[in-house]
Chain A
Amino acid sequence: MLDIDKINNDFAALFEQGREMLREGQAKIIDEKREQAFRQFRTLGGIPGKTEDYLYTNLLPVLSKDYNVVFKYIPQDVNLHDVFQCTVPELATDPVLTVNGWYFAGNKKLDLPDGVVICSLREAALKYPEMVEKHYNRYATAAEKDGFIALNTAFAQDGLFIYIPDGVVLERPVQIVNLLRAKADLMAFQRNLIIVGRDAQVTLLVCDHTLSHDSFFMNTVTEIYLDDNAHFDYCQVQNQHLSASQINSVFVSEHRDTSCDANIVTLYGGMVRNNFYVALNEEGGCCNLNGLYILDKKQHVDNFSYIDHIAPRCTSNEHFKGVMDDTSLANFAGCIRVRPDAQKTEAYQANNNLLLTDTARVNTKPLLIIDADDVKCSHGATVGQIDEEAMFYLRSRGISVAEAKMMMMFGFAHDIIRHIKLQPLRDKIDALVESRLRGEFSKCHHCALQCRK
């Protein structure tokens, strides 16, 4: 039997066996979608094979491992707040922890403006069924051909729920810390739903970390709904160990005059696949999507994006950059889709790559699908080396070759990091990236896990 068939059969068996546990204590709305999604998963033929969207992604090495799956919340034997403390200097955040895809039971109560809800998705589905029903699994359908998304909907039991009512502006960023901690290799699912009301504003900082050495395979789906004139800032830092693989899918549904600024920085991890889907549903929407990936060893990072211009007069800017060392592999695929009525669209996309060794590889696929004529769209992709002229300039000022190279790489990376609006965070990420590029240990100092891998 083909490996991929075996994996799909395993998922089917898991679903059948786990059905009762999956449903336990769960709201109806989530379970209904669950059954539909699993049928969809089977219709699609399971996890993606060599499809156009997964052309360069070999999933087998990651999926062929035997992972444990736990369909209930396992209480932690330590207080995660003590084990993990993010130390971005001078950055006051409202932290929320998840562990292995579940809302952490020991999360502290936050001092939030009236009406703001931050809780587990499980709880929200019971407490605010109408709101969850209105939004749950409405935006993830943009990836209807991706079996992983269906799989998440079929298996997800928990995750975060965030609701910012109309007109509320959160001053402090909400910091979501996704922790992985187990005593054996683990596969887990996480499902987040974020609703930002009319004229509301919020900044989300998402940090992915590992707290044990086990192999992980996370499948996370985050759906984000932005009501008219909402402003949403999203910054994700992926800093896990090399056996932690994840498929991280973010779906943003934008409405009139909204803005979404997203920055994804991938520093460490095993196979990391980021899917970023943005739907610009109404006029005046704006999306700025930036990504940075710095890879070495055998890392494999995929960044996939799909910016869907449905309504006229929206803008999108997308820029991903990567540095590949050792035998790492980076794939980029970005699609700008302009629908027939989306006139006056402005959409730009760029992907730049630096290859440092003979064995590093990159595949890049910037796509434009344009069905309206009055648009300004462009994309560009480059693969190259550090500019010789610039190197000479630096050296002619007395800077050594090694240091000049470092500066050039750092400058290359900073071009993405500079988009992060919160200065303390930007500085912290600059520092992380610099030590990452220098090959120094780059995890946050207070991370309890002293990575040996």
Chain B
Amino acid sequence: MTKEKDNLLQEVTGSDYKYGFVTNVETDVIGKGLSEDVIRLISSKKEEPEWLLEFRLKAYRHWLTMKMPQWAQLTIPEINYQDIIYYAAPKQEEKKNWDEVDPELKATFDKLGIPLNEQKTLAGVAVDAVMDSISVKTTFKEALAERGVIFCSFSEAVKNHPDLVKKYLGSVVPYNDNFFAALNSAVFSDGSFVYIPKGVRCPMELSTYFRINAAKTGQFERTLIVAEDDAYVSYLEGCTAPQRDENQLHAAIVEIVVEKNAEVKYSTVQNWYPGDKQGKGGIYNFVTKRGICRGENARLIWAQVETGSAITWKYPSTILKGDGSVSEFYSVAVTNNHQQADTGTKMIHIGNNTRSRIVSKGISAGHSSNSYRGKVKVVKNCQNARNYSQCDSLLLGDKCGAHTFPYLEIENPTAQVEHEATTSKIGEDQIFYCNQRGISTEDAVGLIIKGYAGDVINKMPMEFAVEAQKLLQISLEGSVG
């Protein structure tokens, strides 16, 4: 494993964004623009029940009254919401098995290195692949079903498990939560649904790959994960998009419900197209992710490696409601060239003896701007809450920025909350030490960054740690020298 990681340094030298191809599949598209009619059309194309349409319309009507959030350390160009395609689906008839899936699509996911063919797949990983707005293929469904685990596209879940969807949809992120959440609630097209019944340890990693393909398209997926009492699941999402000159909008919602003694581990490798070296193009990644530790001793672990997107606005958060519940947040966010990121987490302590831990590592290079924004709140009647946050920033180059915005709101005297942050660059003495041992400057930087991000990378599932490592390297290509 270590050796493999080391080799990556060499392997990636000189590479650019390597996922930037376009797939030629026929696409079913609803024309640009947003209105109640468009929402009705999306809903009818998806043959949705009435209550879901109502949910969408309620969200849409509320969204019309809202303004885009202004508080982030981001410069977001004006977005014309009428110039976006809200529904694009790769045209494919109902396919019964993998062999019938459009070969172009298959090729796409092969090129991405995402195993949709169960024979070829990594052992122990089930995959749901979402292209533009539609789930293309979910693997290992049957194997999982044996244990009572539901892992399917969101649309299927609406059809096959409407009660579960109805019960949990919007229960963690209400339709009116924020501007982008309201937009998603109005127009979301697909995503993944995970349900782990009481007492079940999900036997494999679950994973969703998101791919934006069609031009001028926004992607609005929705993920819902429910872990009943004593259940366990590790879930991973990854994402890529073609290189396009225009900016594309991605506004997703992730909702996670963790019941008593259950544990959910949610890992993200975010690699949307970041734009070119001059800052042209790239994905606007405006995402609302939130989980609730509802029951006692519930655990929710977030681990993310963020290297993509032109602009990132996202704060995976946990509401620690159950007594003794625990949440951890591990993040590496890399920005290079003209990327902007304003990302972090929120830990809301409500239950007694709840604990949270935040480890955030920002790396900025080029002309980028990288901000950590995190909130730790301990409400009035929450006894013995503990939080520790560490937020470090590493600057590579003198044209980039690294910012830290923690908010600590404490209303109970038994809380112990500690926040620490440092900002530094790679020391010349560190580089020299490596040089003296025969390591080139570039390799030295790679090594140091690996060490710097190690705390977070180690929290990723084994299968994805390598990929995460590779991504870090690619994202920082040419930023040192």
Q: Which residues of A contact B (CB under 8 A)?
A: 52, 55-56, 340, 343, 353, 355-385
CB nearest neighbor in A for B70: A52
State whether A373 and B413 are in contact (beta carbons under 8 Å apart), knowing that A380-B418, A380-B419 are contacts in the complex. Answer: no
Name the contact of A384 in the complex, choosing from B73, B397, B411, B417 (C-beta under 8 A). B417
Q: Which residues of chain B are near A377, meaning CB under 8 Å?
A: 422-424
Q: Is the CB of A367 within 8 A of B400?
A: no
Q: Is the CB of B412 within 8 A of A373?
A: no
Name the contact of B408 in the complex, choosing from A340, A363, A375 (C-beta under 8 A). A363
Q: Which residues of B contact A (CB under 8 A)?
A: 71, 73, 378, 380, 393, 395-425
Q: Is the CB of B408 within 8 A of A381?
A: yes
Name the contact of A369 in the complex, choosing from B71, B401, B406, B425 (C-beta under 8 A). B401
Q: Which residues of chain A are near B411, meaning CB under 8 Å?
A: 361
Q: Is the CB of A379 within 8 A of B421?
A: yes
Chain B nearest CB, measured from A18 CB (Å): 34
CB nearest neighbor in A for B365: A373
Q: Is the CB of A374 within 8 A of B425?
A: yes
Chain A nearest CB, measured from B399 CB (Å): 7
Chain A nearest CB, measured from B66 CB (Å): 16
Chain A nearest CB, measured from B412 CB (Å): 7
Chain A nearest CB, measured from B445 CB (Å): 13
Determine the distance from Cα of A365 to Cα of B406 in the docked complex, in whole angstroms.
6
Cross-chain pairs A/B with CB under 8 angstroms, 29 sampled? A56-B409, A340-B398, A355-B410, A355-B415, A356-B413, A359-B380, A361-B410, A362-B410, A363-B408, A363-B410, A364-B407, A364-B408, A364-B410, A365-B408, A368-B403, A369-B73, A370-B404, A370-B423, A372-B395, A375-B395, A375-B423, A376-B423, A377-B422, A380-B419, A381-B417, A382-B418, A383-B408, A384-B417, A385-B416
Chain B nearest CB, measured from A426 CB (Å): 29
Q: Which residues of chain B are near A372, meaning CB under 8 Å?
A: 395, 398
Q: Is the CB of A370 within 8 A of B425?
A: no
CB nearest neighbor in B for A377: B423
List the 9 shortest-distance A-B pairs measured between CB atoms, nearest first. Answer: A373-B395, A355-B413, A368-B404, A371-B401, A377-B423, A378-B422, A383-B410, A383-B417, A373-B425
Q: Which residues of chain A are near B410, meaning CB under 8 Å?
A: 353, 355, 361-364, 383
Determine the distance from Cα of A356 to Cα of B413 in the docked complex, in whole angstroms.
6
Determine the distance from Cα of A343 to Cα of B398 in the docked complex, in whole angstroms.
9
Q: Is the CB of A378 within 8 A of B380?
A: no
Determine the distance from Cα of A364 to Cα of B376 in the docked complex, in whole angstroms.
10
Q: Is the CB of B415 within 8 A of A381?
A: no
CB nearest neighbor in A for B373: A367
Determine the distance from Cα of A302 to Cα of B407 in the docked complex, in whole angstroms.
14
Q: Which residues of chain A are near B415, meaning CB under 8 Å?
A: 355, 383-384
Q: Is the CB of B422 within 8 A of A366?
A: no
Chain A nearest CB, measured from B77 CB (Å): 21
Determine the distance from Cα of A238 to Cα of B393 in the docked complex, in whole angstroms.
37
Determine the distance from Cα of A375 to Cα of B394 in the docked complex, in whole angstroms.
10
Q: Is the CB of A383 within 8 A of B402?
A: no
Chain B contact surface mostly: strand
Q: Is the CB of B412 within 8 A of A358?
A: yes
Q: Is the CB of B395 within 8 A of A357?
A: no
Q: Known contacts A56-B409, A367-B404; can you find 18 more A-B pairs with CB under 8 A?
A: A340-B398, A357-B413, A363-B409, A364-B410, A365-B405, A366-B406, A367-B405, A368-B393, A368-B402, A370-B401, A371-B401, A373-B398, A377-B422, A380-B421, A382-B419, A383-B378, A383-B410, A385-B416
Q: Is the CB of A370 within 8 A of B406?
A: no
Determine the distance from Cα of A367 to Cα of B404 in the docked complex, in whole angstroms.
5
Q: Which residues of chain B are near A371, meaning CB under 8 Å?
A: 400-401
Chain A nearest CB, measured from B46 CB (Å): 39
Q: Which residues of chain B are near A52, meaning CB under 8 Å?
A: 71
Q: Which residues of chain A are near B403, meaning CB under 8 Å?
A: 367-370
Q: Which residues of chain A are near B422, meaning CB under 8 Å?
A: 377-378
Chain B nearest CB, measured from A49 CB (Å): 13
CB nearest neighbor in B for A345: B423
Chain A contact surface mostly: strand
Determine the distance from Cα of A353 to Cα of B412 in the docked complex, in whole angstroms.
12
Determine the distance from Cα of A359 to Cα of B413 in the docked complex, in whole angstroms.
8
Q: Which residues of chain B are near A365, meaning CB under 8 Å?
A: 405-408
Q: Which residues of chain B are near A378, meaning CB under 8 Å?
A: 420-423
Chain B nearest CB, measured from A20 CB (Å): 40
CB nearest neighbor in A for B418: A382
Name the contact of B416 in the complex, choosing from A56, A357, A383 (C-beta under 8 A). A383
Q: Which residues of chain B are near A366, meaning CB under 8 Å?
A: 404, 406, 419, 421
State whether A374 and B421 are in contact (beta carbons under 8 Å apart), knowing that A52-B71, A369-B403, A384-B416 are contacts in the complex. Answer: no
CB nearest neighbor in B for A341: B398
Q: Is the CB of A373 within 8 A of B400?
A: yes
Q: Which residues of chain A are near B73, meaning CB under 8 Å?
A: 369
Q: Is the CB of A385 within 8 A of B408?
A: no
Q: Which residues of chain B are near A374, meaning CB under 8 Å?
A: 398, 425
CB nearest neighbor in B for A352: B418
Determine the distance from Cα of A320 to Cα of B415 in the docked complex, in whole angstroms.
19
Determine the distance from Cα of A367 to Cα of B415 in the docked complex, in whole angstroms.
21
Determine the distance from Cα of A349 to Cα of B472 in the docked complex, in whole angstroms.
30
Q: Is the CB of B407 within 8 A of A363?
A: yes
Determine the distance from Cα of A368 to Cα of B401 in the docked complex, in whole angstroms.
10
CB nearest neighbor in A for B413: A355
CB nearest neighbor in A for B420: A380
Q: Which residues of chain B are near A355, meaning CB under 8 Å?
A: 410, 412-413, 415
Q: Which residues of chain A are near B425, meaning CB under 8 Å?
A: 373-375
Q: Which residues of chain A are near B406, meaning CB under 8 Å?
A: 364-367, 381
CB nearest neighbor in B for A363: B409
Q: Is the CB of B396 within 8 A of A373?
A: yes
CB nearest neighbor in A for B383: A358
CB nearest neighbor in B for A372: B398
Determine the distance from Cα of A264 to Cα of B348 in the docked complex, in whole angstroms.
32
Q: Which residues of chain A are near B402, meaning CB under 8 Å?
A: 368, 370
Q: Is the CB of B398 within 8 A of A370?
A: no
Chain B nearest CB, measured from A343 CB (Å): 7
CB nearest neighbor in A for B414: A385
Q: Which residues of chain A are near B380, meaning CB under 8 Å?
A: 358-359
Q: Which residues of chain B are near A361, meaning CB under 8 Å?
A: 409-411
Determine the distance from Cα of A52 to Cα of B414 in the docked complex, in whole angstroms.
27
Interface centre among B408, B413, B417, B425, by most A CB within 10 Å?
B413
State whether A376 and B408 are in contact (beta carbons under 8 Å apart), knowing that A52-B71, A384-B416 are contacts in the complex. Answer: no
Determine the distance from Cα of A382 to Cα of B378 in the docked complex, in whole angstroms.
13
Determine the distance from Cα of A447 to Cα of B401 in the docked complex, in whole angstroms.
51
Chain B nearest CB, measured from A361 CB (Å): 5
Chain A nearest CB, measured from B348 CB (Å): 14
CB nearest neighbor in A for B408: A364
CB nearest neighbor in A for B404: A368
Chain B nearest CB, measured from A315 CB (Å): 14
Chain B nearest CB, measured from A298 CB (Å): 15
CB nearest neighbor in B for A366: B406
Interface centre among A340, A358, A376, A381, by most B CB within 10 Å?
A381
CB nearest neighbor in A for B417: A383
Q: Which residues of chain A are near B397, meaning CB under 8 Å?
A: 373
Q: Which residues of chain B are near A383, meaning CB under 8 Å?
A: 378, 408, 410, 415-417
CB nearest neighbor in B for A365: B407
